[in-house]
Structures are given as structure tokens and as C-alpha cells.
Amino acid sequence: MTVSNTNESVSVGTDVKERMIEFLRTKRIPINGKLPPLRELSDKFNVSLSTMRKAVLSLEESGELVVKHGSGIYVVDKQGELVVETTILRPCRKNKTLCIIDSFAEGDFEGHYLDNFVLSEALQGAKEACQKAKWGLKVLSFVIGEGEQAILSKIDECKESIALLVVSQHFLGLMDDVEKMGIPAVVLGPLGKNICKNEVCIDLFEAGMLAGDHLAKLGHQKVLYLGQDPAVAKSSHLRHSGFCYAHKKAFPQGQIHEVFIPDVTVSSQVRQLFLDSAKKTLNIIDSVSAIFIASEQIALIVVPYLLQHGVRIPQSVSLVTLDNSRFARLFTPTWTSVDLNRPGAAMAAFDILSNCENGQPVSSTSKHIVSSQLVVRESAIAHNLTEIK
């Protein structure tokens, strides 16, 4: 009987510890990291005070919590591990600093930072705007799923001197906290998300439509859409929907083959998934006359693979990509591409933030829609000029 009670006690203690860890990870705690008193915690988890005390001591031993006698229980500050601060420009005099909020998978900061087109192009526009206004510019990158509390603490430390440009979808759940702090913030995202009072929206439906319409005008009735799974994110859904709308409008009986790439956050996994999609594309390449690759990041892996396996662009298959970064012009033939104008979007976001600095209330609503533009180059030609399939 005694052994049974002991086992039950151990089981309860383990369960409480696991529930506490989940509680900490969901970040339902004050921004200073202090937990409620033991009695309140024991009531919350419906266990005895002694069981709660054992769970807290166990979490203290594992480095999750620190107990300061006479003060309380605190979450261990892992901000240095969970937030990476990169300074681009320093502010002049008392000017503010624009902080671009980004995120990365644990242990993957370097790979993510190098491969993140959204961040790099937003930085391009933000840097130009900050230089003219003599603002500072930083990137605050946090670990997905672990760094939310740490980045809020980091922001809170300097809230009087910063404004935020959010490019990470993983930060969107924290926007209410930012608003409560009174910090000017703008979200850079796809049209239709409606997650922030101040938004600069890139019309990704229009972007996909421009690509589909261009291939339709060139006579391509059998096409391939290659991109992130549209069921995963709003941005993927809009690109895909715009492309399909334009193609089906031109060719109701036409065919759209699709290769969707699952959503992952680790750069090494991303590359492998892109390579897998290239192999799938090669298997159906003879069934289409044109490909729309809905991200240049994907195209940089897929197109070289296709070329290595005998696919000729545009003779075998025409190509249109999306994003229009500097890489579109480095290939031969150069890629026809849709320019999302992220630098311009970042500059528009800065204008909203600088208006806040000049007296416009933080809570005011401002939405700015950035149009995409088709940049016609050499990789897409009329279907009757391609080889007969």
C-alpha cells in the first residue's frame, strides 16, 4: 500500500512538472518573468502545495526556474540564447531605432539569416529610409516557440526609443502585448491578414495573377505551379489562388499541375524539400509547357537541378518566378519574374512609423497596399515557339 502511494506521488509530480513546462512554453506569464505564488500555482494546477513545491524545485534543478527567497519564483532569463540582436545603423542624437522583428528555428540562425529573402529585401528598403531620417536600424531575431517571452522583454527594455517593423509571422500573436506597451509597430505581410492596426500589405493575389496572366497570354494551357503548400499560410494561399484564377479564366479547360512544398523552419530541411520538389517537377516536365515557381528561393534550387538534367529554358519549358531579387538576372536566360517590391513596402512602413514619431497616435489605423509588377525577361516565350511535346 505504501509503495502504491509513492508511485502515485511520483506520477503526479511528473505530470505537474510536464504541465508546468507547457505553461512556461506558452508564455502565459508576466513580462518580468515572475510566476504567481506557490499557493496560487497549486490551486491553478489542482495539486497539493507540497507537490507544487517539488515540481518547482525540480524545474529549478533543470535550469528552467530560479527561486529567489523573499522575492518569488522567476523564469530563468535565457534572452541571450533566445534573441539575436544585429545592429545595422546607429541613431543620430535622440532619434529612434527601427527594429525589424524576425524569427528562426533553434540552432539555425546563420542559415536562416543568409537564406531569408523577405528579411534581406525589407532591410534594403528600411536601411535607405533610416539613413535619410538618421534613425538607427536593428534586426531582433528570436527562436521560434521558445523566444517569445525573451523578445518581449528585450523590446520592453528600450520601448521608449524604438519602433517595430514585423516581418515574422511567428510574432503576430504578440502584437497585443506590443500595443499595450505603446510601441509604434507596423506589420509587413500579405493582403488580407488583418492582424495589426498598422499594416503594409503586399498584394500576393495580384502577384500570382500577373504570373498566370502572362503565361496565358503566351498560350501556355498546360502549366505547373510549384510553391509552398497553400493550406499552410495566407501568403502561399494568395499566390496560388491568384495564379489559378488568371489561368482558369483564360483556359477553362486548361490543366494546372501542382507540386506543393511542406512548411518547415530549419534551413537544411528547406533545401532538401526544395530538392525533392525538383525531382517531382522533372517527372512531370513533359506534361507542361511552362512553370511558375512561386518563390525565387525555391527557384534557386529547382532550376539548376532541371538544367543539369537536360531541361532547356525556355525551349523545353518557359519559366516565371516570383520575388524578383537580384538572382533573377544572374541566370542565362534571365528569369521573367514578378517583383513584390519588398524594399518599397519597408519604406512605406517606415513612413507610417515616422508619422507616429511626429505625433500621430500609436493606436491610429493605417493600411498601405503595395502592388506587384511583372518584369519580362528571356525565360518565358510563346508556346508555339517551344518544342512540340
Same domain, 220 and 261: yes
Q: Which of 42, 75, 108 is the last residue before a domain boundary?
A: 75
Q: Which of 75, 100, 135 is the last residue before a domain boundary?
A: 75
Report the percent of the chain where pLDDT is more than 70: 86
User: Is the backbone of residue 171 left (phi > 0), alpha (psi -120 to 50) or beta?
Assistant: alpha
* CATH number of the domain residue 30 falls in: 1.10.10.10
| Res. 6: pLDDT tops 50 | no
Residue 298 — φ and ψ, nearest 5°? -70, -45
For residue 76, the model assigns a pLDDT of 63
Contact call for residues 69 and 133 (beta carbons, < 8 A): no
Same domain, 229 and 323: yes
335-366 burial, b at 16+ Cβ within 10 Å, e below that, comes to: bbbbbbbbbbbbbbbbebbbebeeeeebeeeb
389 pLDDT tier (thresholds 50, 70, 90): very low
Same domain, 219 and 312: yes
CA distances from 190 to 102, 294, 370 (A): 16, 14, 10
For residue 196, the model assigns a pLDDT of 62
Q: Which of 53, 75, 97 is the last residue before a domain boundary?
A: 75
Average pLDDT of the chain, as a whole number: 85
For residue 27, the model assigns a pLDDT of 54
Same domain, 45 and 64: yes
As given in the structure block, the three cell numbers for residue 269 are: 530541411
Highest-confidence segment of 20-34, 58-72, 245-259, 355-369: 245-259
Same domain, 327 and 249: yes
CA distance 221 to 247: 8
Same domain, 210 and 280: yes
Same domain, 226 and 299: yes
Same domain, 60 and 146: no
Same domain, 175 and 280: no
Same domain, 275 and 356: no
- Residues 351-370: what's their mean pLDDT? 70
Same domain, 349 and 327: no
Beta carbons within 10 angstroms of residue 85's beta carbon: 13
Chain segment 265-285, per-residue pLDDT in tens: 777 788 889 999 999 999 999
User: Beta strand 373-375 with 336-339: parallel, antiparallel or unpaired?
Assistant: antiparallel
- Residue 179: give the domain boundaries: 79-202+345-372
Domain count, the chain: 3
* CATH number of the domain residue 304 falls in: 3.40.50.2300
42 pLDDT tier (thresholds 50, 70, 90): confident
Same domain, 115 and 125: yes
